[in-house]
Chain A
Amino acid sequence: MTERQRPIRVLMGKPGLCGHDRGIVLVVMALRDAGMEVIYSGRHNSPETLVEVAVQEDVDVLGVSVLSGAHMGLCRRIADGLRERNASDILLLAGGFIPPEDIPAMKQFGVHEVFRDGARLDDIVAFIRSAVQARAAA
Chain B
Amino acid sequence: MHQGKLELTPDEWRARHREEIERAEGSAAQCEDGLPLKLVYTPADVSPAAADIGFPGEFPYTRGTEASGYRSKLWTISHYAGFGSPRETNTLFRKMIDHGGVPPYMALDLPTQLGLDPDDPMAVGEVGMTGTSVTSLADWETIFADIRLQDTFVGTVINAPAAVFLAMHVVLAEKQGADLSRIRGNLQNDILKEFTARGNFIFPVEPSLRLVTDTLEYCAQHLPSYWPLNVCGGHFAEAGSNRVHEVAFAFADAFTYVEQALQRGVPIDRFGKGIFFLMKTNHTDLIEEVAKFRAMRRIWSKRLAERYGAQEPETMKCRILGHSGGSLMTRERPELNIARTTMACLAGVLGGIQLIGLRTMDEVFGIPTEKSELIAIGTQHVVAHETGLPDVVDPLGGSYYVEALTTEFEQRVLEEIERIDAMGGMVKAIESGYVRKTIAQDAYLTHQASESGRKVKVGVNKYRIDEDEPPRRPYAYKPEEECRHVEAVRRLRRERDNDAVAAALARLRETASRPAGTANNLVPPIIDAVRAYATIGEICGAPREIFGEYAETTHF
Contact = CB atoms under 8 A, between A and B. Distances in A.
Interface of A: 16-22, 25-26, 28-30, 32, 39-44, 46, 68-70, 72-74, 99-102, 117-118, 120-122
A68 B440 contact: no
30 contacts: A16-B110, A17-B111, A17-B114, A17-B126, A19-B194, A19-B200, A20-B199, A22-B238, A25-B440, A25-B556, A26-B444, A29-B444, A29-B556, A30-B444, A40-B555, A40-B556, A42-B552, A42-B554, A44-B199, A46-B122, A68-B126, A69-B129, A70-B477, A72-B125, A73-B477, A99-B474, A118-B460, A121-B447, A121-B451, A122-B451
A66 to B, nearest CB: 10
Contacts of B476: 69
Given A17-B111, A40-B556, A99 B240 contact: no
A56 to B, nearest CB: 16
Nearest to A46: B122
A121 B551 CA distance: 28
A70 B556 contact: no
A73 B125 contact: yes
B199 A26 contact: no
B35 interface: no
B262 interface: no
Contacts, number: 96
Contacts of A20: 198-199, 239
B440 A44 contact: no
Q: Is the interface of B mostly helix, strand, loop or mixed?
A: loop
A26 B240 CA distance: 10
B331 A100 contact: no
B447 A17 contact: no
Contact of B122 (A28, A32, A44, A122): A44
Contact of B554 (A41, A68, A118): A41
B196 to A, nearest CB: 11
B424 interface: no
Interface in B103-150: 110-111, 113-114, 116, 121-126, 129-130
Contact of A100 (B116, B125, B469, B556): B469
Contacts of A18: 110, 199
Contacts of B474: 69, 99, 101-102
A43 B469 contact: no
A69 B447 contact: no
A70 B126 contact: yes
A22 B239 contact: yes
A72 B198 CA distance: 22
A45 B521 CA distance: 31
A68 to B, nearest CB: 6
Contact of B475 (A22, A42, A69): A69
B221 interface: no
A99 B198 contact: no
Please provide the 3 A-B residue pairs with the shortest distance between their CB atoms, ordered closest to farther.
A19-B199, A73-B125, A17-B110
B367 to A, nearest CB: 10
A101 B472 CA distance: 11
Interface string B434-448: 000000100110011
Nearest to B460: A118
A46 B121 contact: yes
A138 B126 CA distance: 38
